[in-house]
Structure formats: C-alpha cells, structure tokens
C-alpha cells in the first residue's frame, strides 16, 4: 500500500493526515493573512464608502457557512464519537447563530437607519463577545483532546451528546443576545458616535478577544506542526484569520474604514477555511472513488475478456467434442451413421420391437458393379457417387428409420417398427426406384442399381446378437445378386428353399 493511500485512510484529526503540500498551503495562507494584517494595521483608519449592507452580507455569509461547518463537525462526532468534534461543532454553531443578534442590532443592516433591536452599543458588544467566546470554545475543544486524545463517547450516548452540543450553542447565543440587546444600557459603552470613536473599554475588550484568540491559534498550530494533522493545521489558519479580524477592527477605530472592511472580510475567510477543508476532503473522496471505479471498470473489462476467452475455449472444446463424436458415429464421406452407430440403433430397434411384440426389418444393400465405376472413373467420382446415393436413400425412409453406411458400397436401412413384411418390401422397391434415374457426377451420367437383402425380426432372429440379423440380411442380398441384381430378397425365402 502506498503512502498516499495510507494517508487517505486517515481521518482529519489523525497524525499524518496532512501531506507536505497541505503544510505548504497552510503556511502560505497564514503568511498572506499576516502580511495583509500588517498592512491594514498601518492604513486601517483610511475611510471608505459607507455600505451598511456589506455587514448584512458578511453576517449572512458567516451564519450560513458556520452552521454548515458545525453540522458537518457534529456529523464527524456521530461517526467518530470523539469529544473534540462535539465541542468544535457547538463552537461553530454558536459562531453562526450569534450573527443573528449582530445582524438585527447593526445600524442600517436591515433598515435604512438605526438598528432593529437593542441600542447603539449592542452590535459592538455582540461582535466582541463572539470573538471571545468562539475561540474560547475552540481552546476548550483542543485542551480536552490534548488531555484525552483517545477518549470516545459511548455509542449509546452519542445522540444525547449531540443534542447537548446543539443546545449549548443555542443557549450561549441566546445569552449573548440578551446581554448585548436587552441589557445594553447596563454594559459599558464601547464606541461613541462619530467623531468620538472607540472608548477605552473598546480596546480592553478588543485586546482580550485578541489574546483569547491567540491561545487556540498557538495550540492548534503547534499540534498541527508536530503531528501533521489536517484539522489542527487548518483550524489554526481559520483562527488566525479571526485574529486578523480583531486586529483590523482595533486598527480602524471606527466603522467603514480599511481596517473595518478588512475585519469583515477576514471573518468570512475564518468561517470558510474549515468548510473548504471538508469540501476538499469530499472532493478527494470523489477522486479516490473515481480512481477505484476506473480500476474496477478496468478489472471488469479484463474479467469480461477472460470470461469471453473462457466461453470461446469452452465453445471450441464443445465443437471439438462434437466433431470427435460425429467422427466416431458418422461416416465422413456420406454423413450417414457408421457401422458403430448402426449396431447401436439396431440393438435399440430390436429391444423396442421385442418389448412391444412388434416386427422390425433390416435391409442390407450393395451397389451393383460399383468397383467397375471406381476402377474406370477413379475414386473421386466413386466417392461423390456414394454421397449422392446416400442422399437418395435417406429420402426413401421415415424420420424414425435409419440409413447407415456399413462400409465400401454397402448401405443398411433399419425399419424399427413395421406392421408386415410387405412394408419392408415397399421400402426396398422405393430404394431401387430412387436409384433407377441416372446420377450426374461431374460430366458423367451414371446408372446405378442395387441388390437388397431383407431380414425380419422376430421371424429371422438368430439370438441376442443383432449381427446375426445383419448376416442373414447379407445372405439375402447375395441371393438377390445371384438372381440378376437390381432386386431384393427376403431371408425367409432362402430358408423356405429345399
């Protein structure tokens, strides 16, 4: 197994889950954030156009992204049962939900002038409490995980723990809402109206937020660097972006300046980092699955080829077996059953006739003067003539009858079941008639006659050996030749002679 595959199998929080490219990307991203923050701290008080609805967009963006991220982290908790993911999920849910009171209390965000709820200090307090409590929750999650890295929530308590995490996030966001909106008059003022700028309390609370945020940045950064864990590495980057948000806001001292807008952008960056890691992980999953599917598709194609090759081999073997079987039981020249198959069918016919108390007949045929044709015109003409004779003889019998080539110019017809010996005589006459018409072989018109001997079972039966029945038919055939050829004779007629 390659190192890439081994890393792929690791979770986001497991040591070694980040490869060198992940480390380089995280460091580069962090360097950009730090460099931008340094510039903004120097030029953060430059005023820009007043766009209250930019705060609306930023709040809605962070709300949606953080809630999605929190839900995904809780999904990881339900799967892995690690307290780390439960607390991180609660933190991100809180980070998203707390943007609701900020949105409703920020002047001009949802109406042309003033805030919907609270007073002039409400949105500032919501912002600072958000930037203190969210990194504090992250620090808590990291501390719990560092103290008990192998801790797992019991499977039966995962559902309850998930509900508790969601409840904690909702409760904490409600507490911030009540504190900043309902009790805004009891809280110290953080900002004065222009041109008064921020109060001393603004800097105290802001620096507190910066210090609290710096703690989990260091915790996550050190853990990510030492163990090369993807989650801690990018969590440090996300918190660094939130720290840049605090720094930009402190440097700006008032709204709608370079520092203020920079802080809003950095808060969106902070919200997006971890979600982007999840999306990248899912994308890597799809790429991994695509590679697996490609490998499976290739294996499937190879398997199909192997199966097709196997099927072709089986078919070839079947055809070879069929060919061997055909050669074993059929005559190569005429395609008629050979002597082996003839004896088998003759035995079956005799047994069937014996069981049913019926009669059967064997017609032994020999072509007259065939040797003269072979000697005069050659074996090729003789072989073709035999093939055409076989075709004509096959047309003289029923499908249940057998026409076989016994050897040379000898043919045998087996009639499995006949009502009377006259039926055999009719077939013999039909065969003689079929050969009466000249046979065209190449440029030759050949006249062929045949002598036929007939033996009847059970009248001419000589025992259990069917060869005896064929011998009797053979004797009758020679009697037909002695009688002048082109005729048939019954074996019974020979026995009846004195």
Chain segment 18-40, per-residue pLDDT in tens: 788 888 988 998 999 999 999 98
Closest CA to 100 of 120, 117, 121: 117
Mean pLDDT, the chain, rounded, equals 85
Cα separation, 463 vs 246, in Å, equals: 118
- Residue 2 pLDDT greater than 60, yes or no: no
pLDDT at residue 3, as a whole number = 42
Cα separation, 495 vs 153, in Å, equals: 107
Percent over 70 (pLDDT), the chain = 90
Cα separation, 448 vs 483, in Å, equals: 17
Domains and CATH numbers, the chain: 3-296 (1.20.1070), 339-496 (3.30.70.270)
Closest CA to 362 of 286, 495, 471: 471
- Model confidence band, residue 209 (pLDDT cutoffs 50, 70, 90): very high
pLDDT at residue 4, as a whole number = 40
Token pair 């065209």 is found at: 440
Q: Token digits for 391?
A: 């075709």
Report the largest interatomic distance among the alpha carbons of the chain, rounded to a whole angstrom. 155
- pLDDT per residue over 38-66, tens digit each? 998 888 888 888 888 888 888 889 999 99
Closest CA to 137 of 163, 167, 172, 161: 172
Cα separation, 376 vs 411, in Å, equals: 22
pLDDT at residue 287, as a whole number = 58
Q: Is the pTM of this model over 0.85?
A: no
If one counts every other C-beta atom within 10 angstroms of the C-beta of residue 74, the result is 24
Q: Which of 62-71, 117-126, 366-375, 416-425 has the lowest mean pLDDT?
A: 117-126
Q: Are 411 and 403 in contact (CB under 8 A)?
A: yes
pLDDT at residue 295, as a whole number = 77
- pLDDT per residue over 348-383, tens digit each? 998 888 888 889 999 999 999 898 888 888 989 999
**Rounded (10°) CA dihedral 275, 277, 278, 284:** 150
């Amino acid at each position: 197994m390659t190192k890439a595959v081994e890393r792929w199998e690791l979770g986001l929080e497991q040591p070694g889950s980040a490869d060198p490219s992940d480390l380089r990307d995280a460091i580069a991203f962090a360097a950009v954030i730090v460099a931008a923050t340094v510039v903004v701290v120097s030029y953060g008080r430059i005023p820009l156009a007043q766009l209250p609805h930019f705060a609306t967009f930023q709040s809605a963006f962070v709300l949606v992204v953080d809630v999605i991220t929190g839900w995904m982290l809780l999904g990881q908790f339900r799967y892995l049962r690690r307290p780390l993911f439960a607390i991180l999920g609660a933190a991100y849910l809180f980070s998203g939900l707390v943007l609701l009171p900020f949105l409703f209390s920020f002047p001009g965000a949802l109406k042309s002038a003033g805030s919907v709820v609270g007073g002039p200090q409400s949105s500032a307090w919501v912002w600072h409490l958000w930037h203190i409590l969210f990194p504090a929750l992250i620090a808590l999650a990291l501390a719990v995980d560092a103290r008990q890295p192998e801790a797992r929530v019991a499977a039966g308590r995962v559902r309850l723990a998930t509900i508790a995490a969601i409840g904690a996030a909702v409760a904490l966001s409600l507490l911030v809402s009540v504190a900043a909106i309902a009790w805004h008059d009891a809280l110290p003022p953080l900002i004065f109206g222009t041109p008064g700028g921020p109060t001393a309390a603004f800097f105290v609370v802001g620096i507190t937020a910066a210090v609290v945020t710096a703690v989990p940045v260091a915790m996550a950064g050190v853990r990510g660097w030492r163990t090369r864990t993807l989650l801690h590495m990018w969590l440090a980057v996300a918190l660094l972006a939130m720290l840049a948000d605090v720094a930009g806001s402190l440097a700006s001292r008032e709204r709608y300046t370079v520092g203020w807008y920079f802080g809003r952008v950095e808060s969106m960056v902070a919200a997006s980092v971890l979600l982007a890691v999840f999306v990248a992980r899912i994308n890597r999953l799809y790429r991994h699955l695509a590679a697996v599917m490609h490998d499976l598709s290739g294996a499937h194609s190879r398997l199909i080829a192997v199966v097709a090759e196997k099927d072709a081999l089986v078919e070839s073997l079947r055809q070879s077996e069929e060919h061997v079987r055909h050669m074993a039981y059929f005559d190569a020249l005429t395609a008629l059953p050979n002597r082996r198959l003839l004896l088998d069918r003759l035995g079956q016919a005799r047994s069937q006739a014996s069981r049913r108390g019926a009669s059967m007949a064997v017609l032994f045929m020999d072509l007259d003067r065939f040797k003269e044709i072979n000697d005069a015109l050659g074996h090729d003409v003789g072989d073709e003539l035999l093939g055409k004779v076989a075709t004509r003889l096959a047309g003289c019998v029923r499908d249940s009858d057998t026409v076989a080539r016994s050897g040379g110019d000898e043919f045998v017809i087996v009639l499995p079941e006949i009502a009377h010996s006259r039926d055999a005589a009719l077939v013999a006459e039909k065969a003689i008639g079929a050969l009466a018409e000249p046979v065209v072989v190449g440029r030759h018109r050949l006249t062929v006659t045949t002598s036929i001997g007939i033996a009847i079972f059970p009248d001419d039966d000589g025992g259990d050996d069917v060869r005896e029945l064929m011998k009797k038919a053979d004797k009758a055939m020679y009697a037909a030749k002695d009688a002048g050829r082109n005729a048939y004779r019954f074996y019974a007629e020979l026995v009846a002679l004195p």
